[in-house]
Amino acid sequence: MCHECDERPCKQHPTTRCFTDRPKRWYWCFWAFPFLGLASLVWFLIRVIPKPTRATYPCQRLAAPLAGGFVVWLLGVGGSVLACRKVTRLFRESRRLIACAFLVLAVVMAWWSVSLVEDRSVQGAFVPSEPPNRPMGVGQGIHPGRVVWVHEPDATRWDGVTGAWWEDEHTDQDLVDAMVSQAVRMLTGRNNDTAAWDALFRHFNQTRDLGDVGYQDGEEIAIKINMNLDDGSKWDWSPAVSLPSPQVIFALLDQLINKAGVPGGAILLYDASRYIGDPIYDKVRGSVDPNFQAVRFFVRPEVAKNGRLAAERDTAHPVHFSHPNVPHGARAYLPRCVTEAKYLINMTLLRPHQMSGITLCAKNHFGSICFDIAFRGGWTPEPLHDFAKRNQAPGSYNCLVDLIGHPHLGGKTLLYIIDGLYGAEHQNANIMRYASFGEDWTSSLLVSQDPIAIDSVGLDILRNEPKATWCAGQGVENYLHEAALADSPPSGIHYDPKGDGTGLMSLGVHEHWNNAQDKQYSVNLGLGDGIELIVVGATDSGYEALADLTADGVVDAHDLAVLFQTWLAGLDDPWWDPLCDLSTNGRIDLGDFTVLAGAWGWREP
């Protein structure tokens, strides 16, 4: 039917067509999403209700977002329709003010349903773009690509109701101390904490051509923690809030002060974009040790109070972002507490992120930068949000590579830590029990010297959690690919965060585990270089796992044969294998045989 002359067909206005003249073969598209959503919901309920563990199956990970999106869409559209009917009746009754309010409600409900469906559910669950055990990049650390995962369920005792999780009666300080101790010893392969920290400091200095030296008195260490939900209000620390564990921070400080020999006055705890609340501050200051009293806390200048110091930006060491479209001249600045420190420890949290998919070690440095803008005095990552989204096209620029590649951030990092005692749904949500941990708290601590390896393991943990629905979108792992291949990234970007023309080399190794049950990476499977994941408890001796040289889950004659292949090898010998140096004395000898003999017959739990 022609809009101009009501004739059918219309020769005078041949290009004019009303809505009803559209080809009817496309009408089915209108019902595609409701049909697929309903089918996904029915399929999910039929399969998962009888056996909840099926929620982790790949088909259910794909169906769940569509089903959830359908429910959200149905609620939003249904609410909008009801509100519109109410508007019509109220206008007829001349109750115009109330009618306008319901009209606004109708618009909001419609927008809410569309925005949520578009943002999360339509994208579907994250699916890796490469097959399992296909490592890319170059592993970092004493044992390249090694990640240690300490899982200790007894450390987290909160019942979800009484008090707050971050209180000492609900999170066991002694077990958390043991978790941190276990982590650094297993990471370095040393048999005591002091030797482990000395190995970390020496490796740091050797790989930066600073000599074979350990920690020197007075050298400062900055510790970046993720205080995203703490803006300085007393209400920020609710009983279930997702913030760093005071117990993990205390255990780390105790290790640095009493095992590594770092004076408290040389330790700088910071989040330059947020506040560091009383549960952490009081925990540290509660120690009578003068070293704990001397630890300094740096926060955003406008909330610096009650013993917290204001972060001060250093204009002499900018971060040059490698994409010209980054706002404000593609440049940001770092706090002096970072640029004037020799070492940095990156301690983040285990949780998904609504914008980026995951927020782990790399994104932790969103709290380390200052832009030339008025908002929050410039201490905000807001200008970078468009360059770290989970819906980015694979092979595109990602600002996180510039951050972890900057000489004063990743270049100074001694150790990467993921505080996973209590996982969360996303960065703005409370802590929650994870289905993939048996409906229990995650109770985990991950450490590594490789920023890409540890974030890769963190991603595998989160994508295996059915409740972590924000871990979605093919851009989630984009920064891991770009950083692992930083010298020749898929995007073709010349990453040069220092701004001197010198591009980055590989920042670490990335791959995905073989499956969520076995959690094996390339080194574990004996496939060559890649990630090595060591999973232990806080009170396990740990050395049984290290003695499993063939990574087949048992210490037996096969491991003894591997040891003898490197017998009497020293550091400079071509047949040297660092994995066989179980006694960590730099030579394969009777000390290593003794360790292996002590672990004989051990089987992986």
Q: Do the beta carbons of residue 536 and residue 180 sit within 8 Å? A: no
Q: What is the pLDDT of residue 20?
A: 40
pLDDT band at 18 (very low <50, low <70, confident <90, very high): very low
Structure tokens that stand for 190 in this block: 């040393």
Query: What is the SS3 assignment for 534-587?
Result: EEECCCCCCHHHHHCCCCCCECCHHHHHHHHHCCCCECCCCCCCHHHCCCCCCE
The topology (CATH level 3) of 136-510 is Rossmann fold (3.40.50)
Ramachandran category for residue 9: left, alpha or beta (phi over 0 → left; psi -120 to 50 → alpha): beta
Helix (H, G, I), strand (E, B) or coil at 197: helix
Give domain limits for the chain: 29-121, 136-510, 543-598
Q: What is the pLDDT of residue 60?
A: 57
H or E element, residue 74: helix 58-92
Least confident among 108-122, 368-382, 533-547: 108-122
Least confident among 104-108, 292-296, 504-508, 573-577: 104-108
Full DSSP string of 78-100: HHHHHHHHHHHHHHHTT-HHHHH
Q: What does the chain come to in residues?
A: 605
Helix (H, G, I), strand (E, B) or coil at 31: helix
Residue 424 pLDDT greater than 90, yes or no: yes
pTM strictly above 0.95: no
| Average pLDDT of the residues in 254-279 | 98
Q: What is the pLDDT of residue 447?
A: 99
Q: Which amino acid is at 194?
A: T
Q: What is the pLDDT of residue 105?
A: 62
| Average pLDDT of the residues in 48-73 | 58
Secondary-structure breakdown of the chain: helix, strand, coil percentages, each rounded to the nearest 5:
40, 15, 45
CA separation for the pair 5, 244 (Å, rounded): 70
Q: Do the beta carbons of residue 453 and residue 158 sit within 8 Å? A: no
Q: What is the CATH number of domain 543-598?
A: 1.10.1330
Q: What is the pLDDT of residue 575?
A: 83
H or E element, residue 309: strand 309-310
Least confident among 22-36, 396-410, 481-495: 22-36
Helix axes 173-188, 193-207, angle to 10 degrees: 50
Residue 19 pLDDT greater than 50, yes or no: no
Distance from the Cα of residue 269 to its chain's centroid: 20
Q: What is the pLDDT of residue 42?
A: 78
136-510 and 543-598 agree in CATH topology: no
